Structure 1
Amino acid sequence: MAETKRVERPLSPFMIGQYYRPQMTSISSITVRITGIATFGFAVLIVLWLLTAATSAGAFAVMDGLLRSFIGDLLMICAVWALWYHMLGRLRHVIWDFGYALDIKSSETMGRGMFIGATVLMLFTIIVL
């Protein structure tokens, strides 16, 4: 029998660089997962703030000082963006579950819209609140 020559191909799409070009659909999907984890982390931070308020005035002063500092403001801005982005990602999945916008062009448009929408909603939230 003739021996076939195997073509060397990457085994995984996670080899970003010469083998795999990141696409809007993959980046938005990964970002939804990251913002879900980040939102949980921010929720834990708020629970810690509430627990310190219930337990000790000294501990609350430290935690409240952290959350009211410049770093705390940046954390809360990131938390608001992550929350809005994750919510828009879940909404995108509901749309897909109903069988709409499953083509690549619509998926890429919704991915870009999620980044823009989360940023606009975050700015709106910060300005209003």
Structure 2
Amino acid sequence: MTDSSPVSGDHPKDARDDQTGRFIQQPNGRIRPLSPHLQVWRFHLTMLGSILNRGAAIALSVGALFVVAWIAAASFGPDAYADFVAVMGSPLGLLIWFGLTLAAAYHLTAGIRHMIWDAGSGLTPKSATNLTMVSMVVAIVIALGFWAYLFASGKVTL
């Protein structure tokens, strides 16, 4: 005797009756959303890593405008360049440059993490979480180390 009632946690609709295309009937008969969304997945560290990687890419795209402005200031002459250096050498400017350094470092480490995953390693939930944590910590260490070197060498001052 088969019971046609939905399994606990299933969407009560029949996938054949779904006109939106958002649900699918799995081979085991359960009705599931076609793609995951917040009602299905719990938040975990690898999700944060993915979000941060996308945010880092956006920050680097915006940061490219600062690099273009730097080159433009240099091409407009010594006065324009001095003005740009004064603004971007201020505490707010240095914070922007530090943020861009952190974004670049995280985008690099997340890219390495993805290459490891693409090679088929580190795909278990625990190892994926650990690898994500390592990529975040290493990015912070790279950024702090780079800026510590800049301040220690006297190339940057407040």
TM-score, scaled to structure 1:
0.82
Give the whole-Å Cα distance in 2 for the aligned partners of 1:52 and 1:72: 15
Higher relative contact order (CA 8 A, sep 6+): 1
Of residues 126, 133, 142 in structure 2, which corresponds to 1:112? 133
Aligned 8 A contact 2:109 2:136 in 1 = no
Q: CA deviation at 1:123?
A: 1.1
Give the whole-Å Cα distance in 2 for the aligned partners of 1:3 and 1:103: 33
- Paired residue for 2:21? none
Instruction: Say whether residues 1:6 and 2:12 are aligned partners.
Output: yes
Q: CA deviation at 1:61?
A: 3.6
Of residues 83, 100, 116 in structure 2, which corresponds to 1:62? 83
Of residues 47, 50, 53 in structure 2, which corresponds to 1:32? 53
Q: CA deviation at 1:6?
A: 1.8
The within-5 A match list for 1:40-51 is 40-51=61-72
Q: Secondary structure at the match of 1:22?
A: coil
The within-5 A match list for 1:82-121 is 82-121=103-142
User: Unaligned stretches of 5+ in structure 2?
Assistant: 14-31, 151-158
Q: CA deviation at 1:44?
A: 1.8
Alignment: residue pair count: 124
Post-superposition Cα deviations, 1:11-47, rounded to whole Å, max 9, x if no partner, equal 86246xxx75321011101100110110121122012
Of residues 19, 36, 44 in structure 2, which corresponds to 1:23? 44
Instruction: Say whether residues 1:80 and 2:101 are aligned partners.
Output: yes
Give the whole-Å Cα distance in 1 for the aligned partners of 2:60 and 2:116: 22
- Give the number of the structure whose residues are more often helix, by fraction: 1
User: Unaligned stretches of 5+ in structure 1?
Assistant: none
Q: Cα RMSD over matched residues?
A: 2.5
Bigger radius of gyration: 2
TM-score, scaled to structure 2:
0.68
